[in-house]
Each structure stands twice: as structure tokens, then as C-alpha cells.
Chain A
Amino acid sequence: KAGVTQTPRYLIKTRGQQVTLSCSPISGHRSVSWYQQTPGQGLQFLFEYFSETQRNKGNFPGRFSGRQFSNSRSEMNVSTLELGDSALYLCASSFLPGDVSGSPLHFGNGTRLTVT
């Protein structure tokens, strides 16, 4: 069974631009969540989707948005990029939401975003 696939692996953008990251979950998994990892703040929850609905969102500005498609694939978008958005963005999937079932998350390799 293929793991969680994130594309692209690396991305360099300029301040003010927007970016879209993609995540394909493990087959059969319907819950997808996104995390931002930075040296200073560590791992922070962005949002979670289940069956195409956003269940919850972390403490991030509205420039960060996401969506989930009927095949469970998910995308996250960051508009008007700032230098501080440089980070590793991790996507994770599980069959059911973790807070409901305690299902462990299966992570992808992440997308390294650099904003210059």
C-alpha cells in the first residue's frame, strides 16, 4: 500500500506570491491533516479535513486555507506569502480522525517551502 504522497518536495517562492501544496493520503484513509514545522515554533496544527469537510483549524491567519476532494486528496493554499511562512509542511492521513478513534497519523515526507 502506497504511503502518503506530498508534492512538490521543495518549493521556492517570493514574498507576496501564493502557493498550493498537494497531499494524496493512503488509500482508504478519509482524514487528512496538515502541520507546519519550523525550528522556532516546532510542529503546529494547521487544519484537518474529513470527508471533504474541514473539522477544525489551528491558530493560523486566513491566508492559510485548504480543501479536500471526493477522492480524499487534499490541497493547502497559502496566499500573500511572507518570509515567516518558510517551513516544512507535513500532511498526514488516517482512516478516521485521530481525536475520535485515536488512530495514529501516517505522515508524508513533507514539502519544504522557502520564501525569499
Chain B
Amino acid sequence: AQTVTQSQPEMSVQEAETVTLSCTYDTSENNYYLFWYKQPPSRQMILVIRQEAYKQQNATENRFSVNFQKAAKSFSLKISDSQLGDTAMYFCAFTAYSGGGADGLTFGKGTHLIIQP
């Protein structure tokens, strides 16, 4: 079974600062996908960024980027120039490529990120 660990229950930074959220995972699979989702108070989970394990290049989406270290099973999220609208719960998630049915996404417990004005 896969596990995803987010060791920071809560983080708080000032607006415009850069913040890094940590995520580690445990799996015996070699092909898999990793995601960061954001859940604001509206409750809707929103995809932030996606990484395919076979790609060595780190994914980037505007102010969001990841540091994917496959050997260390680490997948951290960096948010640059943080904005008030970035305040939310952030979840790291994992799914293994199986082709025949997997156990859905495995989520970490989440990090509550607060951007202070």
C-alpha cells in the first residue's frame, strides 16, 4: 500500500514571500503520478500541479513548481510570490499506474497554508 506524508500541518508566510510545502511518499511502484491539490474554504479541490514519475524534469505552472526527487521519494511544492488567494489546504496525492484498477488517489493529511497580508 502506498502512503503519503505531509509533515507540516500548518504554515504561515507573508504575502510575496516564497514558501515550500513538503511531501514524501512510500511505494514499491516504478510508474506513478504525483499531484498537488489546493482546497480553499469553498471546499472544492483544485489541481495545482501534476508530475509524471518517469519525467525527470520538474513540473512548473506559473508561480508553482515542484522539486521531485524520485530516489528520495520526495515531492515538494514551491509557491513563489505568494498571494492572499493562495491561502488554503494543500494536499499531496499519489496514484500508481496500473492499467487495471488502482485504489484511487492516496492523499496526505494536508498542509494549511496561510498567507498573511
Q: Shortest CB–CB separation between residue A116 and chain B, in angstroms? A: 21
> Per-position contact with A for B91-104: 1 when CB-CB < 8 Å, else 0?
10001111101111
A102 cross-chain contacts in B, Cβ below 8 A? 33, 50, 52, 95, 97
Report the number of A-B residue pairs with Cβ-Cβ less than 8 Å.
71
Contact B103–A58 (Cβ < 8 Å): yes
Say whether, besides A92-B45, A107-B45, A98 and B91 are in contact (CB < 8 Å).
no
Contact B43–A110 (Cβ < 8 Å): yes
Interface-lining segment among B18-26, B62-70, B105-113:
B105-113
* CB-contact partner of A104 in B42, B50, B110, under 8 A: B50
Whether, in the assembled complex, B44 has its beta carbon less than 8 Å from a beta carbon of chain A, the answer is yes
Contact A104–B35 (Cβ < 8 Å): yes
The interface size of chain A toward B, counting residues with CB under 8 Å, comes to 28
* CB-contact partner of B103 in A56, A88, A106, A107, under 8 A: A56
Whether, in the assembled complex, B11 has its beta carbon less than 8 Å from a beta carbon of chain A, the answer is no
A112 cross-chain contacts in B, Cβ below 8 A? 43
Per the bound structure, the CA–CA distance linking A106 and B35 in Å amounts to 12
The majority secondary structure among interface residues of chain A is strand
Interface residues on B, range: 20 to 34
Contact B99–A42 (Cβ < 8 Å): no
Say whether, besides A98-B33, A99-B99, A104 and B47 are in contact (CB < 8 Å).
yes
A98 cross-chain contacts in B, Cβ below 8 A? 33, 95, 102, 104-105
* CB-contact partner of A55 in B45, B47, B95, B101, under 8 A: B101
A residues neighboring B (CB under 8 Å):
33, 35, 42-48, 55-56, 58, 88, 90, 92, 97-100, 102, 104-110, 112
B residues neighboring A (CB under 8 Å):
33, 35, 37, 42-47, 50, 52, 91, 95-99, 101-110
User: Knowing that A43-B105, A92-B45, A100-B99 are A-B contacts, what are 15 other residue pairs whose CB atoms are under 8 Å apart, sorted by A's residue number?
Assistant: A33-B104, A33-B105, A35-B104, A35-B105, A42-B107, A42-B108, A48-B104, A56-B101, A88-B43, A98-B104, A99-B96, A102-B52, A107-B37, A107-B44, A108-B44
